[in-house]
């Protein structure tokens, strides 16, 4: 399947709108474009894309699949309770957006443990702890938050059957 994929397009913005228009143009020209990938590299120093569900819905309405392809949530070190809470909310916002979008087909983390994360090298060691497991492979609050969102979604799905 052919997907467009980029970073900083999780929310509604000029960049994500340009991708929506590009997708419409390509599909009208019979390009076999199947979906849009949202990399989801979030950083707590920037606003949370709380409009991610509405953004994914725009692509859903034109018949495209959507996917979060590289989700991580970084922050300036050291971590603390406030930053952990922000990370939980950020991961959960994107996961909920995917779960609420009928054609969202994938939610992929960009690494599962801080031990092997790309963030410290990218930020010269200033940022990190961007994944749901710490460097010792122990669950962080973000891990438990993702578990809770998935458990609630499964419970709702089971009730709807």
Q: Decide if 123 contacts 85 (C-beta within 8 A).
A: no
Q: 156 exposed, middle or buried (CB, 10 Å; 0-12, 13-18, 19+)? A: exposed
Of the candidates 83, 64, 66, the residue with the CA atom closest to the CA atom of residue 75? 83
Q: Which of 3-12, 45-54, 73-82, 148-157 has the lowest mean pLDDT?
A: 148-157
Helix (H, G, I), strand (E, B) or coil at 137: coil
pLDDT tens digits, 108-152: 999 999 999 999 999 999 999 999 999 999 999 999 999 999 999
pLDDT tens digits, 50-106: 999 999 999 999 999 999 999 999 999 999 999 999 999 999 999 999 999 999 999
């Amino acid at each position: 399947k052919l997907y467009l994929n980029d970073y900083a397009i999780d929310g509604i913005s000029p960049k994500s709108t340009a991708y929506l228009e590009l997708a419409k143009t390509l599909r009208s020209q019979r390009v076999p474009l199947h979906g849009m990938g949202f990399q989801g590299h979030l950083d707590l120093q920037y606003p949370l894309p709380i409009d991610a569900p509405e953004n994914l819905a725009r692509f859903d309405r034109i018949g495209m699949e959507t996917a979060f392809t590289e989700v991580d949530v970084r922050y300036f070190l050291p971590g603390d309770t406030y930053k952990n809470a922000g990370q939980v909310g950020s991961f959960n916002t994107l996961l909920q957006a995917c779960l609420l979008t009928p054609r969202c087909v994938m939610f992929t983390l960009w690494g599962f443990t801080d031990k092997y994360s790309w963030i410290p090298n990218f930020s010269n060691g200033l940022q990190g702890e961007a994944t749901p497991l710490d460097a010792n492979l122990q669950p962080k609050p973000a891990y438990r938050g993702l578990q809770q969102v998935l458990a609630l979604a499964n419970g709702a799905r089971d009730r709807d059957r």
